[in-house]
Amino acid sequence: MSFGAQLFLAVLEGTVSASVLAVTALGLSLVFGVMRVVNVAHGEFFMLGAVIAWSVAFTVGDMPLVSFLIALIVGPLVVGGIAVAVDWLILKRIDYNPEGTIVATIGLLYIIQQATLILYGPEARAVEPPFYFLIQFPWFGYSGYKLIVVGISLMLLLGTWYGLTRTRLGLYMRATQYDREIAQAFGIPVRRVYAAVFALGGGLAAIAGVLVVPIQQAHYLMGHNPLLMSFIVVIVGGLGSLRGTLLAAFVIGISDGVISVFFTPTLAKIVATLLVSLVLVVRPAGLFGEKEP
Amino acid sequence: MSLLQTHLLQTRGLSRHFGGVQAVREVDFELPAGEIRAVIGPNGAGKTTLVSMISGRIRPSAGRIRFKGADITGLRNWQRARRGIVYTFQITSVFQNLSCHDNVALALQRKRMTGLSGRVHLDADALRGEAEMALDRVGLAARLDERAANLPYGHQRLLELAMGLALAPELLIMDEPTQGLSESEILAFCDLTRRIARETTVLLIEHNMAVVMALAGRITVMNEGAILAEGTPAEIAANIDVQHAYLGT
Amino acid sequence: MTGKSDDHRKVRKVGDSAFGVSRRAAIKGAGALAGVAAAASLTGFTARAHSGSDAPIRIGFQVHRTGIGAAYGRWYERTSRAAVDYINETGGIGGHPIELVIEDDGTDPKRGAEVVEKFATQHKVDFVFGTLFSHVVIGSAPRAGELKMPYFVVSEGHHVASGKLNRYVFQPGITDVRQQVISMAPWITSNLGKKIAMIFPDFAFGHDHRDFFSAAAGSLGGEITTLLPIPPTESSFTKYFAKIPSSTEVIYHVMVGPAVLTFVKEMGEFFGNNRPELFGFIDSLEAVDIASPGLDYLEGSYFWEAMPRYADGLPTAAAAFYRDKVGVDANGASMSDSKDVATFSHMFGCWETLYVIKAAVEQSGYRSGKDKVALIETLENMKWFNEGIAHPQGGKQFVGQIHQSFGRQFISKVENKRLKVVHTTTIEDGLYEPEADYTKQAL
Amino acid sequence: MTGRKQDRPWRTPMIVLVLLLAAQFVLPAYHHGNLTRIMVFAVFAIGYNLAFGYAGLLSLGHAMFFAAGLYGAGMSAHFLGFSMPLAFLFGGLCGLVLALAVGLVALRTRGVSFMIVTLMFSQAIFLTILYFNEFTRGDEGFVLAQEIRQLRFGETVLSLTDPTLRYNLALGLFAASYLLGVALLRSPIGRVLVALRENESRVQMLGYNTFGYRLLALSISGALSGLSGAAYALLFAYVGATFAATQYSIYPLLWVLLGGVGTALGPLIGTGLMFYLVDFASEITSSYLIVVGVVLVLLVIVFPKGVIGTLQEKWRGLRS
């Protein structure tokens, strides 16, 4: 296959994974930025979204589009609910202490994974895409659904951005992120904002999971990579900077694809990994981060 | 004997801008050894930026700094501290979770930490003795084993000062030392500073004019990032420009 | 029997039920488990040795209940339980019942070694068996050797046969990668094509495929057009297919792990209708329904199978009996849940290994730990396991020097979303010169 | 480090070590073996604690230092025929050198960026191990032959397969690291590190080259992690890429947080706690990870500063 075509394909692939990654990372970025909490279980929220999508598809039966739409609503709702519960039952009790949260969310990760293993099982299960059509390029065929994923992701990102900049909750969140005490002084219900943010973060991860199931499969260990990648993306983008998160997601996602054209797969991964870390060495605060305190 | 050596500290064309804002512009500043010098000026005049560049906390955008005749512009803050430029912070930043002893010991131990042996082990009792003395100079000897966090604010400032002194500085830079101190504490601080000044050159940024007038041998007035005037307290008090700068009339 | 071992049994029951068919029931019980914790911590310090002439043969079952191997582990556990139940119904081992002691290794080599230790020093079992994933086998094997604990793995890895483990480790119930690969090569090169591209995971299992198949195909006039080792951290594959030259006639693929479905799907999307021939190892689709969404285009591609998933592929009475006992229907799924597809090409190894242990114990007159030497020497002198209820997958030739069994393999074609056997190899097709001789090692 | 605490700084360590020494005579074989492993991994945790607990360097890549020791010892013994003690020290050296190299680059970053950079480097090391699978056998790893795992003193040959020897070697390594931890915390360097964690720029204004001290902390940490890895390879005869994977960077963090950040004894307690948590829970139920998860959550709520950390605080509270 011609070099140009390879590159084109790589960019295509990069864009798809980048857009899913962006949605997942956005969730983590909000939680991280506003609550200053590292949610190690974020990947599990992603996984739950995928598993829920499968369960919905299984119960609804042979109506891919319907079950897809239902999952898009049920997934984030269920996961958001779990997130709120976690916030009230655990995070609040340890007063969002950063170190405590790491242990607590590691515990949460175990609980969610094992529960999924018991109720859902260890197999990887596929889900029918809502609409399936093959785009036949001169050099190769490509799943049309993947492009739709990109579309939906972009809409989600725009929606979130709008929510953050134009709505009251968004204002509250930015205020809380800027300074918790001051926000409280201004009568912002910080506790509820936290719960909302944690739910929103989980919900976004869940939606990403729903989107990805028809491409990958639902598996109870699938949360590991999304967690690492979105964590990386958030920091490289710059703590608390949403556009940074998004930019980083696309830079990393696409460069990963492109680099793979030039090296053998594993070597490509090594190179990509080192490049990412170098970004931070050169710009310790990330691409768009304010100088760290 | 050249002019340079008579000056402990000397800056030439020292400038710093943050983005578009010119915080300090083209400052030529000289400080002879043994003096108590006060730098005053309205808020945003660039006082803190100037001393921060001298102490090495901020890199200048342009200009040179000479200390004891040597150019130190390129040195890091810790290297300057080793050469005797000591900076005590505007907001107290003693180590809250350490005891007064450990706070001062940190300042004292560095010179002794030579060679491997010195780094892994020091005579604890000797160090303790010195720490006690250093604290005694500021009247905190009794608080030796107290956690710094438990000290009242005024005492934390004194601890901060004790740490500075423990470094046996040649130039002691104090940024608003009397801020938040009570009247009695301020008086105590004044004679302490006079005592300190016997062996150390002192550069202080101060808003409390009473303190300035009482302590300073000479005063440097800054405004909009430049030196507006310089002279004895009497001269400065009489200076029209200074009044303009302060009263904006 | 002592009171302690009594309540220990109760304790184990709770654990077992949690993995039985009714998993939902188990989670309800989860609350009660907390209480049992106390009991367990008490028994924690008491060894579980039984004594007396009616003493059961205690077999430690090292299973992947959690971690990446869980899908295999669940079926290994079902198969082993079925085998043990049937062996006990039919008089046990020389009159002694088998007692299965189960420990999860989390598919982790560190925990694996600890579990072997626990079996030997805490549970005081007679043998340990059942490990699948190679890194767990290799991580655990040294401890088994040091503790002089016969260790029967069901891993299909080449590690035992390569001679780099020790005299206490055996793989008598399942064939190893090397023989599988070399017995496939002739059929592939003569029926599918000689220009072959290989896609495999970039770790040891994949490299065994790379090395042994490249060599075998080469000697048959085949040509490897490209090698694509895929890093295990990868979750999307399309970009790699671009590296396959268009001259390629056959794509030889063997992937493992949860991402394999993606891999197979993306391969289909990428090549569309004008795809080269596909030959894959069923490892990619173990525990996966061939009729899963997105796999349609696998239609007409070929897979290696160790034991045909669909009943008509191996219509022997023994195979049918085995299938029924384990609870697998004619399509290779659980009788109770047609979505729950078995790991049919691997799990038979547990059944057969337990029968090999039975045979070895009975022939060597093994009574207790001190007879282990006799047992091992007896086993090393065995030459042949006959096809039948004990060996439903087929007869096997056992090579004592390398502690490895050799058996037949199957090649199946995907037709109407089912696997249809199109070729069966002979044991000879897979034979190779022993690379080592464990029998020379001290015991 | 308050003045009062300096009374008998060596008392607790001595009690702990004597108990560990005595334990081997009373423990049943199984727990004897477990304690051996726990002590080896506790050294890893101590190393992590030096960087994280003392100098405030939150690394997510310590698996690479453990792996450096594991492979350094394993491969030098396997391919170069290094004797066991030599291989062990070489493993430690590998950890040290890697930590130095990584530190020179990664320590330019701070806080979360440092977490990511170490995470990525560690990932790169993991992939590199897979990449050179010809020698490493990648994920599958390789076994160290028993001939290698011997201590020779002239005629007498001691085999590492002997549990007693293994236990006491592990104990020796642990004791050394544990005492090093205590000593370092009380040394002038320790005082600087602790101050560093609290307010780096202030430490600089006292004339300390803080970069040097952070690098020092990371290097010692890496060396100890390496020694722990080397000990694992030689004592338990297995070398594999699993130990370079991300979860083995998370474990030491978890152990230290459980036991108590910045405490000398915390690493051992945390490591042991986690080991037995899994061991017992997995006896009760196959879904033991739920139990583990719940216990972790409860522990955080009951012991916000880790077991030892919280107890120490309570104790101080009682005294003053």
- Sheet strands (E) in C42-126: 57-63, 98-104
pLDDT computed for residue D2 by the predictor: 41
- The answer to whether residues C182 and C301 belong to one domain is yes
Q: How confident is the model at residue B247 (pLDDT cuts 50, 70, 90)?
A: low
Q: Which of B96, B106, B127 to mutate to test the interface with D (most CBs of D within 10 A)?
A: B106
Judging contacts by C-beta atoms under 8 Å, the chain B residues touching residue D180 are none
A and D make contact (3+ CB pairs below 8 Å): yes
pLDDT tens-place string over residues A11-34? 888 899 899 999 999 999 999 888
- The answer to whether residues C128 and C210 belong to one domain is no
D-chain residue closest to B161, CA distance = D206
Residue C4: pLDDT over 50: no
Judging contacts by C-beta atoms under 8 Å, the chain A residues touching residue D102 are none
pLDDT computed for residue B248 by the predictor: 60
Residue D3: pLDDT over 60: no
Residue B13 backbone class (left: φ over 0; alpha: ψ -120 to 50; beta: rest): left
B-chain residue closest to D184, CA distance = B120
pLDDT tens-place string over residues D141-173? 999 988 888 888 878 888 888 899 999 999 999
- D142 to chain C, minimum CA–CA distance in Å? 7
Average pLDDT score over residue span D201-219? 92
What residues does B64 pair with on adjacent strands?
A: B12
Least confident interval from B19-28, C90-99, C105-114, C245-254: B19-28
Interface membership of C103 toward D (CB under 8 Å): yes
- D72 to chain B, minimum CA–CA distance in Å? 27
| Interchain CB distance below 8 Å, C204 and D161 | no
pLDDT computed for residue B117 by the predictor: 67
Q: How confident is the model at residue A54 (pLDDT cuts 50, 70, 90)?
A: very high
- The answer to whether residues C200 and C144 belong to one domain is no
- C33 to chain D, minimum CA–CA distance in Å? 7
C313 within a domain of the structure (yes/no): no
A-chain residue closest to D255, CA distance = A103
| Interchain CB distance below 8 Å, D138 and C26 | no
pLDDT computed for residue C43 by the predictor: 42
pLDDT tens-place string over residues B109-144? 888 777 666 677 778 888 888 899 889 888 888 888
Residues C294 and A215: their CA atoms lie apart, in Å, by 9
pLDDT computed for residue C53 by the predictor: 55
The closest CB to that of B106, out of D2, D3, D206, belongs to D206
Q: Is A248 exposed, middle or buried (0-12, 13-18, 19+ CB in 10 A)?
A: buried
The closest CB to that of A281, out of D117, D250, D296, belongs to D117
| Interchain CB distance below 8 Å, C269 and A261 | no
Report yes or no: D75 and D139 within 8 Å, Cβ to Cβ. no
C315 within a domain of the structure (yes/no): no
Residue A289: pLDDT over 90: no
pLDDT tens-place string over residues C317-346? 999 999 999 999 999 999 999 889 999 999
D and C make contact (3+ CB pairs below 8 Å): yes
C and A make contact (3+ CB pairs below 8 Å): yes
Report yes or no: A88 and A104 within 8 Å, Cβ to Cβ. no
Average pLDDT score over residue span B1-13? 71
Mean pLDDT, chain B, rounded, equals 86
Report yes or no: C100 and C142 within 8 Å, Cβ to Cβ. no
The closest CB to that of D204, out of B78, B122, B145, belongs to B78
Report yes or no: B72 and B12 within 8 Å, Cβ to Cβ. no
Residue C124: pLDDT over 50: yes
- A280 to chain D, minimum CA–CA distance in Å? 6
Q: Determine the structural domain holding residue C367 and report its residue range.
A: 57-175+346-407
- The answer to whether residues C94 and C115 belong to one domain is yes
pLDDT tens-place string over residues B174-216? 988 888 888 888 888 888 889 888 889 999 998 888 888 888 9
Domain count, chain D: 1
- The answer to whether residues C274 and C296 belong to one domain is yes
Mean pLDDT, chain A, rounded, equals 88
Q: Determine the structural domain holding residue D16 and report its residue range.
A: 3-319
The closest CB to that of D282, out of C103, C117, C202, belongs to C103
Residue C24: pLDDT over 70: no
Judging contacts by C-beta atoms under 8 Å, the chain D residues touching residue A113 are 289
Is the model more confident about B197 or about B249?
B197
The contact set of D with C (CB < 8 A) is 28-34, 37, 123, 127, 130-131, 133, 137-144, 146, 161, 236-238, 240-243, 278-291
Q: What is the 3-state secondary structure (H, E, C) of B25-92?
A: EEEEEEEECCCEEEEECCCCCCHHHHHHHHHCCCCCCEEEEEECCEECCCCCHHHHHHHCEEEECCCC
Highest mean pLDDT among A92-101, A126-135, C406-415: C406-415
Interface size, chain C vs chain D, as Cβ–Cβ contacts under 8 Å:
135
CB neighbours (10 Å) of residue D315?
9
Interface membership of D189 toward B (CB under 8 Å): yes
Strands C337-341, C333-334: pairing kind: antiparallel
Judging contacts by C-beta atoms under 8 Å, the chain C residues touching residue A266 are 202, 229, 231
Percent over 90 (pLDDT), chain C: 69
Is the model more confident about A285 or about D80?
D80
Domain count, chain C: 2
pLDDT computed for residue C39 by the predictor: 43
Average pLDDT score over residue span C375-398? 95
Exposure string over A135-173, b if 16+ CB within 10 A, otherwise e: eeeebbbbbebbebbbebbeebbeebeeebeeeeeeebb
Mean pLDDT, chain C, rounded, equals 86
Strands B62-67, B70-71: pairing kind: antiparallel
Residue C46: pLDDT over 60: no
Average pLDDT score over residue span A183-201? 89
Residue C263: pLDDT over 50: yes
Is the model more confident about B241 or about C122?
C122
- The answer to whether residues C227 and C207 belong to one domain is yes
Judging contacts by C-beta atoms under 8 Å, the chain A residues touching residue C341 are 123
- C79 to chain A, minimum CA–CA distance in Å? 16
**Which chains does chain D touch, 3 or more C-beta pairs < 8 A?**
A, B, C
Interface membership of B97 toward D (CB under 8 Å): yes
Report yes or no: D232 and D243 within 8 Å, Cβ to Cβ. yes
| Interchain CB distance below 8 Å, D30 and C117 | yes
pLDDT computed for residue A151 by the predictor: 94
Q: Give, in order, the Cα–Cα distances in Å from D85 to each of B28, C298, D92, D146, D219.
A: 64, 55, 11, 14, 21
- D254 to chain A, minimum CA–CA distance in Å? 6
Mean pLDDT, chain D, rounded, equals 90
3-class secondary structure, A108: helix
Residue C119: pLDDT over 60: yes
C80 within a domain of the structure (yes/no): yes
Boundaries of every domain in chain A: 20-221
State the DSSP code for C15: H
Residue D198: pLDDT over 80: yes
Interface membership of D1 toward A (CB under 8 Å): no
Using only the alpha carbons of chain B, give its radius of gyration: 19
| Interchain CB distance below 8 Å, D250 and A106 | yes
Percent over 90 (pLDDT), chain D: 61
Report yes or no: D106 and D121 within 8 Å, Cβ to Cβ. yes
Q: How confident is the model at residue D7 (pLDDT cuts 50, 70, 90)?
A: low
pLDDT tens-place string over residues B230-244? 899 888 888 877 777
Domain at D49, CATH number: 1.10.3470
Q: How confident is the model at residue B48 (pLDDT cuts 50, 70, 90)?
A: confident
Domain at C280, CATH number: 3.40.50.2300
- A274 to chain C, minimum CA–CA distance in Å? 15
pLDDT computed for residue A1 by the predictor: 65
| Interchain CB distance below 8 Å, C113 and D236 | yes
Residues A142 and C270: their CA atoms lie apart, in Å, by 6
Residues A171 and A175: their CA atoms lie apart, in Å, by 6
- B216 to chain D, minimum CA–CA distance in Å? 24
C317 within a domain of the structure (yes/no): no
3-class secondary structure, C383: coil
Could you tell me which of D22, D49, D7, D21 has the C-alpha nearest to residue D175? D21
pLDDT computed for residue C293 by the predictor: 79
Judging contacts by C-beta atoms under 8 Å, the chain B residues touching residue D8 are none
Q: Which of A102, A114, A279 to mutate to test the interface with D (most CBs of D within 10 A)?
A: A114
Judging contacts by C-beta atoms under 8 Å, the chain B residues touching residue D195 are 95, 98, 102, 106
The closest CB to that of B95, out of D199, D205, D207, belongs to D199
Residue C381: pLDDT over 90: yes
Average pLDDT score over residue span D133-141? 89
| Interchain CB distance below 8 Å, A140 and C293 | no
Residue C18: pLDDT over 60: no
The closest CB to that of D133, out of C12, C34, C203, belongs to C203
pLDDT computed for residue B118 by the predictor: 67
pLDDT computed for residue C283 by the predictor: 87
| Interchain CB distance below 8 Å, C232 and D139 | yes
3-class secondary structure, A138: coil
